Amino acid sequence: MSGIEAEGLVKRFGPLTAVDGLSFTVGSGEIFGLLGPNGSGKTTTVRLLSCLIAPSGGTARVAGFDVQSEPLKVREAVGVLTENPGIYDRLSAFENMEFFAEAYGLKDKAERGARIRELFEFFDLWDRRDDKAGTFSKGMRQKLAIAKAIVHRPGVLFLDEPSSGLDPKAAKDIRDLMEDMSRREKRTIILCTHNLEEAERLCSRVMIIRKGQPLATGTVEDLRRKMHGAPALEVTVEATNDALLGKAGKLNGVKSVNLSGEGALIFDLDDPEAGTPDVVAGLVKAGARVKAVNIMRPTLEDTYLELMKEGQA
């Protein structure tokens, strides 16, 4: 089992309960998104699951090992990018990587060097390998921290805000790398992010937490349906009139139809995906000239904001 099973995880800091009974499972090769407002307990959850801190209650198995009784095994099996990645400023970038690669058990010097070179070339850091890490820019440090987290090819990877500080090209490279690691190499990734577009693109499932408690868990599509129902279908035609609107309302699978402010036809369908071809064909038959067709799917950001509103109630 190279995934994660958490059962009733709790972490208290004095009077504050930062993680308040989280239960979830992450399958091998999944990218699982951990989303939620500042201070909701994402980083604390990552620190618990990677055995950087001990839970106050509950249990978890990570890569087949128990976080309470086998913390050393867990630490060996995982890679972690946290908010404070613990890079040594006075060592060069290469020396930093050497240090961590060796600590993670990459004993063969040549093999270690090859792995570091591969990562530094990927991150465009090879030319700067002998510079002290303390002289690196924010994004360069972030790249170094990610390289450090994956140098030993861990089966389970925790990435806390990986794209923070990265330029658009580097952020895309990291996204591609995450996809490759999950799809091709079947590595399990927990991704904490405030970038909901990134989460929507990458995550097989997400968990939205608030005050250490789960608000919703599922695929982005599951959460969308739960919060917003089926998406509407928007059809823009050259000209609308009452006769067309009347005919449109009687087409196969149409529950209702309205005009938008911009003059487009907005359909409520039983099943927008399956029903769209019939609706478009019906409109054309009724004499309409169709200019654009769009299934109005709310974004994960829309769903997230809606959930936060509900959570406050």
Ligand X SMILES: Nc1ncnc2c1ncn2[C@@H]1O[C@H](COP(=O)(O)OP(=O)(O)OP(=O)(O)O)[C@@H](O)[C@H]1O
Binder of residue 44, out of ligand X, Mg ion, none (CB less than 5 to 8 A by kind)? ligand X
Cβ 72 to Mg ion shortest distance, Å = 25
**Residue 195 neighbours by CB distance under 10 Å:** 19
- Helix residue spans in the chain (DSSP H): 42-49, 71-77, 93-103, 109-122, 138-150, 168-183, 196-202, 220-228, 242-249, 272-285, 300-312
Give yes or no for a contact between 211 and 312, defined as CB atoms under 8 angstroms apart. Answer: no
Alpha-carbon span 72 to 152, nearest angstrom: 15
Residue 55 in the binding site for ligand X (CB under 6 A): no
Given 4, 9, 18, 144, the residue binding ligand X (CB under 6 A): 18
Q: Minimum Å distance from CB 35 to ligand X?
A: 9
Cβ distance to ligand X smaller for residue 42 or 152: 42
Cβ(233)–Cβ(269) under 8 Å? yes
Nearer to ligand X, 3 or 41 (CB): 41
Taking Cα atoms as reference points, which of 32, 41, 25, 27 lies closest to residue 190? 32
Q: Is residue 16 within the footprint of ligand X (CB under 6 A)? A: yes
39 binds, among Mg ion, ligand X, none (CB under 5 to 8 A by kind): ligand X
Residue 210 sits in the site that holds ligand X (CB under 6 A): no
Q: What are phi and psi of 267, to 5 degrees?
A: -100, 140
Annotate each residue in 20-39 with x if it binds ligand X (CB under 6 A) or - if it does not, as one string.
----------------x-xx
Binder of Mg ion out of 40, 43, 188, 303 (CB under 5 A): 43
| Least distance CB 295 / ligand X (angstroms) | 32
Nearest to 312, CA basis, from 44, 42, 37: 37
Q: Which residues bind ligand X (CB under 6 A)?
A: 13, 16, 18, 36, 38-44
Q: Which residues bind Mg ion (CB under 5 A)?
A: 42-43
